[in-house]
């Protein structure tokens, strides 16, 4: 069998295997639009298989590169790195059979002595772990090409979780990419892309980072959280997400703890009520009531009918004295 026929068979088999894997794998992103998303993803996988096949069969040269000279993409798509180890199936396969499919790289846009990967992140990581050179195709690619190739890799092999897709979409928009490009990179449509970006915008980045990828938490739950979010929520969650116990949990469990904390009703302080009379004596008296954020003073002025007006005129002065005391105390 010629090299041309062998390569063609390899890529045909790869496309079929990836399509079958993607078809059988349970979705972790919820059930909205599954048929549409599946069709987009399978179409993109077939497109990439053809593109790589044509590149190799047309004589595009495969070179060996030092993995240490290849940098990751300029835009992150995962919330946390997922390192491989020697027991990983991909590492074992390359150790036994060699690297059968090359990675795709470009010259680094800001350092001609280095490269930047567009496709094959996990293969690069596996080869580096084995201490080998990486088989690569070096191609002229602009930023849009890199983003789309990165999206193809995620669709075809190890899907991003819903929140990772949302953050990836927002990051691309913030970097100036037009929505049609982002739609192509994520194999999604206009409506779903709008939802992804709105979720990533609504929930603060530090909260998302604290929860992590949450692969088992799908579209519906993240959208519900985004819709219920408000400005006071993050402060309430600070103690939870900063605790060692929270960070020790798996990512899905951290999401559940977050939701449980938000659902918990904060205990309201018991109202207090007491009487006041001046130590120096007199017929003036007051009734003071405190309940949460409410504080009231009711005065019976007795022999000091203008005392209430006196207090009112000095509220600004009293408040500034209060603030100065807080600042001095470092609060």
10-residue mean pLDDT profile of the chain (331 residues): values are: 43 41 39 50 52 52 92 76 76 91 90 90 90 92 86 64 91 91 89 95 92 92 90 78 90 93 73 86 87 84 86 89 81 59
Distance CA 207, CA 13 (A): 41
> C-alpha distances in angstroms, 9 versus 5, 52, 60, 173, 227?
6, 13, 18, 38, 48
Phi-psi region for residue 304, left (φ > 0), alpha (ψ -120 to 50) or beta?
beta
What pLDDT score does 3 carry? 39
> C-alpha distances in angstroms, 20 versus 65, 151, 171, 182, 263?
31, 18, 30, 25, 40
Q: Could you tell me the two tokens for 194?
A: 């709008």
Q: 126-133: long-range contacts at Cβ-Cβ below 8 A with a sequence spacing of 24 or more?
A: 126/84, 126/88, 126/90, 126/91, 126/94, 127/67, 127/94, 127/99, 128/67, 128/68, 129/84, 129/85, 129/86, 129/91, 130/91, 130/94, 130/95, 132/67, 132/94, 132/99, 133/64, 133/65, 133/66, 133/67
Q: Where are the beta strands (DSSP E) in the chain?
A: 62-65, 70-71, 103-108, 111-119, 134-138, 272-276, 285-291, 294-300
- Dihedrals φ, ψ of 33, to 5°? 60, 40
pTM, two decimals, is 0.58
Neighbouring C-beta atoms of residue 140, cutoff 10 Å:
7
- Dihedrals φ, ψ of 136, to 5°? -145, 150
Q: Nearest CA to 67 among 129, 119, 10, 112? A: 129
Report CA torsion sign: 27, 30, 31, 36. negative
Neighbouring C-beta atoms of residue 182, cutoff 10 Å:
23
Interior angle at CA 17, CA 16 and CA 19, nearest 5: 65
Distance CA 90, CA 127 (A): 9
What pLDDT score does 229 carry? 87
What pLDDT score does 162 carry? 93
Distance CA 88, CA 123 (A): 11
Neighbouring C-beta atoms of residue 180, cutoff 10 Å:
10
Q: Could you tell me the two tokens for 309?
A: 């007006």
Alpha carbon 92 to chain centroid distance? 30
What pLDDT score does 163 carry? 94
Q: Could you tell me the two tokens for 245?
A: 């116990």
> In this structure, are residues 169 and 197 in contact, taking their beta carbons and an 8 Å threshold?
yes
SS3 label, residue 93? helix
What pLDDT score does 23 carry? 36
What pLDDT score does 7 carry? 38
What pLDDT score does 46 carry? 56
Beta-bridge partner residues of 290? 272, 295
SS3 label, residue 170? helix
Q: Please state the length of the chain.
A: 331
């Amino acid at each position: 069998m010629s090299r041309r026929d062998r390569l063609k068979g390899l890529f045909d088999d790869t496309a079929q295997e990836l399509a079958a894997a993607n078809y059988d794998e349970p979705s972790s992103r919820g059930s909205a639009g599954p048929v549409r998303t599946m069709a987009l993803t399978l179409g993109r996988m077939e497109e990439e298989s053809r593109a790589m096949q044509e590149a190799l069969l047309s004589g595009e040269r495969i070179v060996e590169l030092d993995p240490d000279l290849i940098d990751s993409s300029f835009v992150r798509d995962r919330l946390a790195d997922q390192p491989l180890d020697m027991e990983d199936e991909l590492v074992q396969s390359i150790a036994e059979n060699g690297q059968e499919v090359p990675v795709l790289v470009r010259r680094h846009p800001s350092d001609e002595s280095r490269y930047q990967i567009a496709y094959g992140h996990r293969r690069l990581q596996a080869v580096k772990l084995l201490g080998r050179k990486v088989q690569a195709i070096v191609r002229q690619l602009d930023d849009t090409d890199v983003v789309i190739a990165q999206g193809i890799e995620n669709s075809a092999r190890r899907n991003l979780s819903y929140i990772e897709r949302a953050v990836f979409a927002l990051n691309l928009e913030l970097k100036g990419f037009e929505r049609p490009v982002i739609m192509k990179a994520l194999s999604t449509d206009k409506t779903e892309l709008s939802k992804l970006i709105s979720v990533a915008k609504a929930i603060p980045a530090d909260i998302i980072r604290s929860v992590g990828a949450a692969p088992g938490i799908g579209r519906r739950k993240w959208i519900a959280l985004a819709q219920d979010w408000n400005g006071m929520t993050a402060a309430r969650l600070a103690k939870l997400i900063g605790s060692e116990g929270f960070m020790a949990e798996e990512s899905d469990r951290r999401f559940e703890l977050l939701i449980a904390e938000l659902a918990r009703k904060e205990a309201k302080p018991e109202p207090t009520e007491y009487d006041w009379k001046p130590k120096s004596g007199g017929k003036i008296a007051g009734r003071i009531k405190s309940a949460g954020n409410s504080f009231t003073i009711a005065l019976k002025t007795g022999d000091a009918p203008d005392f209430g007006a006196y207090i009112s005129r000095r509220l600004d002065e009293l408040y500034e004295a209060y603030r100065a005391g807080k600042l001095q105390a470092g609060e």
